[in-house]
Each structure stands twice: as C-alpha cells, then as structure tokens.
C-alpha cells in the first residue's frame, strides 16, 4: 500500500507555520522554552550505529548499556538480515543472541554485497529499541551501541511531551488524512504506553501505521505500541474517509496525553473553510511547493487541563465531485449502447436515427465537459483517463449502428 505520509508531508506540516508559532513549544509540565530535547533530538544518550574499521568485514558488534553507561547483561539482541532480489523476491533471516556480563554480542558471516540490508532490535527491561537499518560494507564491520533504560507506563514519570499534526487532502472523492505525533521523552526512563488507544473518525478506510509503533484497533481506533526512550521519536499513521456526502463534515479525534502543541492543516479548495474548536484563528499559508493550505493550532498553557480530543470541521465542500458525475455518465452511456445492441439482436432492428444522433450529442457534450474539468484541475488524471476511455468506447459503438448512417 502506498505511503501517504512522506517527506513532503513532513515538510508541509513543519513549514506551514503561523507567524506567531514558536519554534520550541512549551512542555505541558511547565518546562521553559528551550528545555533540552524539545528542540534538539538526541537529548540524553542515544543509539550509535556506524561502520567500524577495527571490526572485521561481515561482523556486527552490538553493545547494550544501561543508561548508556553500564554494560547490561540479559538483553535479547536480534539481527534482521534482508537479501534483496528483484527477480525472485527478498529473502529475510533473523538471528538472535543474549548479552553476557560485558553487555556485548557479535554476529559474523554477514554478506557485504550491495543487496544486503541489516537492522538490529534490542529487547531489555520491558522495552524494545530499534536501530535504523544499514548496509554492511566490504571494507569494515559495523559497531552499534544501544542505551537501555528503566521503563514506565506513565507519560508524566517519563516526562513525555508531544507535538501533533493532522494534514488533510481532498483527492478524487476521498479525504486523505496523514497524522503525525512527534514524541519527546525528556526524562531518564523509557515510556511504554501499553496499548494507549486513540479514537479516529468513524467510517475510515485504508488505515496504515507508517512509523513508530501504531496499529489499528477496531473499526475507528488506533493503538499506540512500542517504546519511547529518552529523545525524540515519531508516530505516523494515515487513513481515508469518503467525501462528497455533505457540504460540512466533522471529524473527531482523541489525543494522547501531554500534547504541548497540536496543529491542523488542510489543503485549500475554493470556498472551503476550516474550524477546530478551542484553536487559534485559521490562517492561510504556503507549503514548500507553493500549495495553499489552511492552518490552525493550539498551544498548551501551564496549569491548563490537557486537550483530550478535538473535532475538525470542514465547510464549503463539494457535495459530489465532478469525477463521480463523469463515472456515472460513462457507465450510463455504456449501458444504453449495450441495451441498443440487445434490442437489435432480439428485434432485428437497431435504434432510430434520431436516437443515435441524440446519444452522440450527449456523449460529445460529456467529452467537452470532461476536458474542461481536467484543464481546470477539477478531476485527477486517473478519473480523466477512465471516463474518457468509456465515453470514446460508447461513441465508437454508436458509429457502428446502421442508423448512424441514416
């Protein structure tokens, strides 16, 4: 399935800033702006992963350290190897080992071709730590240091703060929702949310947890899983909702705890407006590619109760997009021509010349409207190609009718 949330989305979300938006939002527990970690990823000891010329080629050495300092025994270290092959498909193989008193394990015999991709995960103290994937090099081995920490299910104890973004697009009769939560753990413990549930709009389709440990939980909810060690980690998901049902649509979300800043962004369409209760006045901005967007946000205020949920309201929406009319029109045209062929087979005669001329006129009118809609950007390329193909096919059938020459 395609990944809706991409680097482009992140660029739009982070660059579509309101003039008054601080680069460093206040933490809900009252830490001042500029507190370590909120604006500087890597607060506290972080995972280190790099080629190492002192390690033989084909070997990966993993050191697990409690709080980034003391060797940790008893951790489960898993090396995930993938041998990429376009013709035959990828081959995956996992190898695991447990750390001893030195807190270190080694994996040997790893293929160093450009087709090999490796990554490491570590399980310790009730949490899991993911090392970004890497390619083993021919001239050196690879060294990894993974700090592990005591865990807590309490976001307050882990000093967790979040910045959230909801980005909405209207694409070919559907709303596309891209949701990002940037989690900052400012303390010295790993936050394990133990399946914290996030309610999403009812009726969603195409759910995908893209990054950070999030899975679908029921028809309209997601469950936050995984581990959040000191530092920064992103949680990203996306889904779709049907559009065209009403001129005003409202979408409800529940939020995780300790959200310091929440921002809602939607691509602008003529006549459309955005409203989120309790948020700042909506402003218009430009994405990095010049896309017009509507933006609103809410900053947490120290001492104020955290926002448990929000409702995004979009107004001025087209109730039925042009693409739906063209699809229906094309299907109707094909049905009519099929009916005429069936009638000719049963009765030995086709439709009259007047009927054929009227059908041709209507199909040509639909083609002209379709071209105008495509030129005006009202429909996408896939809808255009599909509808045009069906309309041209219907015209070709009409030309083969005996009455067409009458």
Interhelix angle 353-375/381-399, nearest 10 degrees: 160
Sheet with 309-315, side-by-side order of all strands: 249-254, 309-315, 273-276
Fold agreement between 7-29+159-315 and 48-152: yes
Q: Distance of CA 116 to CAs 78, 85, 88, Å?
A: 16, 10, 15
Mean pLDDT of all residues in the chain?
A: 79
Model-level pTM greater than 0.85?
no
Which tokens belong to 265? 């962004």
DSSP code for 391: H
330-369, pLDDT tens digit by residue? 555 555 555 555 555 555 555 566 667 777 777 788 788 8
> Domain segments of the chain: what residues?
7-29+159-315, 48-152, 322-405
Residue 332 has a pLDDT of 54
CB 223 within 8 A of CB 197: yes
CB 245 within 8 A of CB 319: yes
Residues 6+ apart with CB under 8 A from 118: 60, 79, 80, 81, 82, 110, 133, 134, 135, 136, 142
3-state helix, strand, coil in the chain (%, to 5): 20, 40, 40
Q: Give domain 48-152's CATH architecture.
A: Sandwich (2.60)
Please say whether the structural domain 7-29+159-315 has been given the CATH code 2.60.40.
yes
343-352, pLDDT tens digit by residue? 555 555 555 6
32-50, pLDDT tens digit by residue? 233 333 334 446 789 999 9
């Amino acid at each position: 399935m395609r990944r809706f949330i991409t680097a482009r989305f992140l660029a739009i979300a982070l660059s579509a800033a309101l003039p008054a938006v601080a680069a460093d939002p206040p933490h809900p527990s009252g830490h001042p702006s500029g507190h370590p970690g909120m604006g500087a990823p890597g607060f506290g000891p972080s995972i280190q992963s790099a080629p190492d010329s002192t390690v033989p080629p084909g070997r990966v050495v993993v050191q697990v350290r409690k709080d980034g300092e003391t060797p940790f025994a008893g951790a489960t270290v898993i090396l995930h190897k993938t041998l990429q092959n376009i013709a035959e498909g990828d081959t995956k193989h996992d190898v695991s080992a447990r750390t001893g008193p030195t807190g270190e394990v080694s994996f040997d015999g790893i293929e160093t071709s450009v087709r090999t991709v490796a990554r490491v995960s570590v399980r310790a103290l009730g949490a899991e730590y993911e090392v970004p994937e890497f390619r083993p090099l021919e001239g050196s081995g690879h060294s990894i240091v993974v700090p592990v920490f005591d865990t807590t299910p309490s976001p307050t104890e882990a000093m967790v703060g979040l910045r959230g973004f909801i980005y909405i697009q209207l694409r070919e009769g559907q709303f596309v929702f891209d949701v990002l939560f940037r989690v900052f753990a400012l303390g010295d413990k790993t936050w394990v949310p133990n399946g914290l549930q996030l309610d999403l709009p009812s009726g969603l389709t195409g759910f995908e947890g893209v990054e950070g440990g999030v899975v679908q939980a029921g028809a309209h909810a997601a469950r936050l899983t995984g581990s959040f060690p000191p530092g920064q980690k992103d949680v990203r998901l996306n889904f779709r909702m049907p559009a065209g049902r009403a001129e005003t649509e409202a979408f409800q979300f529940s939020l995780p705890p300790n959200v310091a800043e929440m921002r809602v962004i939607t691509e602008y369409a003529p006549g459309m407006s955005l409203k989120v209760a309790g948020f700042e006045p909506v402003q218009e901005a430009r994405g990095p590619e010049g896309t017009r967007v509507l933006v609103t946000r809410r900053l947490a205020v120290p001492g104020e109760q955290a926002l448990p949920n929000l409702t995004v309201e979009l107004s001025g929406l087209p109730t039925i997009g042009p693409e739906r009319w063209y699809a229906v029109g094309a299907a109707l045209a094909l049905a009519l021509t099929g009916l005429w062929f069936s009638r000719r087979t049963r009765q030995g005669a086709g439709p009259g010349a007047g009927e054929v001329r009227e059908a041709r006129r209507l199909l040509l009118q639909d083609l002209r409207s379709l071209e105008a809609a495509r030129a005006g950007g009202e429909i996408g390329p896939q809808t255009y190609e599909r509808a045009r193909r069906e309309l041209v096919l219907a015209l070709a059938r009409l030309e083969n009718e005996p009455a067409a020459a009458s």
